[in-house]
Amino acid sequence: MLAVNRNTVVAAYDELYAQGWIDVKPRKGCFITLKFPVLNPISLSSQNQGNMEYPENTLFQVGYELKEELFASYPPNTAKYVFNEGFPDVRLTPLKELLREYSVFGKRKMSRKYLSYSDKKGSLRLRKELANMLRQSRGMSIESENILVTKGAQMAIYLAASLLLKPGDSVIVGDPSYFLANQMFAKLGADICPVPVDQEGIDVAAIEKLCQSKSIRLIYVIPHHHHPTTVTLSAARRLQMLDIAAKYRIAVIEDDFDFDIHYENRPTLPMASFDRYGSIIYIGTLTKVLAPTIRLGYIVAPANFIDLLAQHRFVIDLQGDTLLEEAMAELFINGAIERHLKKIRSLYKERRDLLCHLLKENLKEIVSFVVPDGGLCLWVEFKGVDTKNIAIEAGRNGLFIRDGKRHNPSGKDLNAMCIGFASMNLAELEKATKILISAVISCKSDKWK
């Protein structure tokens, strides 16, 4: 009557029965159930709860409050152009290749086992591919047991820091440094000890001086394209840092979040490549290479510390996204990641050069910056005009840019902006930069009120 295959009808009835819509009685037939599979909660009170509004605030006290101004970072819908602080261009993400691997992987019978709980350290295939990549690109003598896969570098930093630190422990950071890492250490109750950052990176001599006067538990350093200043830690200072860490038995978190995005010559090898004593906790990420929503990071450390991290991670997050990790492992195997890296290095270098050229040509007497060897942003200092006013004026003309104040050390105004150039193509970048230039000139003039 319905002109469909009998198997289709049987499958339909099986699905109705599985969902609880029908009862099957042997030798009698299928009947609509008397108890439909629809939740009908019992009210706690006989009073009508339908018009009750959900509370806006909690009655209880919150134990720790973060500085709200540091996190209010989403651009308004009215912004035509956005200068972020160093995001990749998501339009370049090899999404088709990633989705293809998802599809291929999902069709395999063996893939069903990955839908259950799996290794706390992450996909073994991905960890093997990461170890192979790190051996080739960074000279690290590691294996899969030295790697823990995380949901981005942020999670990796938090896992390592929260395992190492107790309230009152001292942490050395750059001045300025990655503001979210500082907030994280503060939340853990650490005593934050800022150390100056110059054109060679964090001041290692100042670090040793601090270590001589007080007990330091952790050093947090961004060796390549330091955020926000984009400077690179010199090879000599890296070796000095290793000696200090070994001498005073201090753990060092080496946050190398964009090592792979380097434009000039060869990047300096990480400290983890020369670590003989197990002092370095190396952190990397694929998020900056691919897209912010693809949350994949990793920690490299001696196997005993990785085991402890895996147990620690299990308390707050039972495991990672195994399907994503397996698909990503395949992109490493078939060469898609390496091809993508070669492509974005070339494109991002063009964008960096265009931004630097436009700023030098139009704001030569107002701005100062060092052209970064790599990374996704430019650190620009302004003379004679406040960055807060620049951001406001740019916003009036359709450009969203942060004023850079959240990077200021305590009691000091750097009057600088971290300008991300990677997420716009050349045409968009030129238009956005011209709006920024116009805003700076407008604020510099007497017309600003």
pTM recorded for the entire structure: 0.86
On the 0-12 / 13-18 / 19+ scale of CB atoms within 10 A, 85 is buried
Rounded distance between C-alpha atoms, residue 372 and residue 369, angstroms: 9
Instruction: At 364, list the tokens.
Output: 């030569």
The DSSP string of 23-50 is EEETTTEEEE-SS-S---PPPSSSS--T
Strands (E), 256-331: 280-285, 297-300
3-state secondary structure 226-262: CCCCCCCCCHHHHHHHHHHHHHHCCEEEEECCCCCCE
Element (H, E) at 429: helix 426-444
Task: Please answer whether residues 283 and 298 qualify as being in contact, where contact means their C-beta atoms are separated by less than 8 angstroms.
Answer: yes
Rounded distance between C-alpha atoms, residue 370 and residue 360, angstroms: 11
pLDDT, position 322: 87
* Residue 310 CB neighbour total at 10 angstroms: 18
Task: Please answer whether residues 311 and 167 qualify as being in contact, where contact means their C-beta atoms are separated by less than 8 angstroms.
Answer: no
pLDDT tens digits along 88-110:
999 999 999 999 988 887 777 77
Can you give the length of the chain in residues?
A: 449
Instruction: At 352, list the tokens.
Output: 């960096």
pLDDT, position 47: 63
Which residues of the chain fall short of a pLDDT of 50?
A: 447-449
Instruction: At 330, list the tokens.
Output: 């395949």
Task: Please answer whether residues 401 and 325 qualify as being in contact, where contact means their C-beta atoms are separated by less than 8 angstroms.
Answer: no
pLDDT, position 48: 60
- b/e 34-62 (16+ beta carbons within 10 angstroms → b): eeeeeeeeeeeeeeeeeeeeeeeeeeeee
Tokens 């469909």, located at residue = 4
pLDDT, position 388: 95
pLDDT tens digits along 172-230:
999 999 999 999 999 999 999 999 999 999 999 999 999 999 999 999 999 999 999 99
pLDDT, position 431: 97
Task: Please answer whether residues 130 and 122 qualify as being in contact, where contact means their C-beta atoms are separated by less than 8 angstroms.
Answer: no
pLDDT, position 50: 61
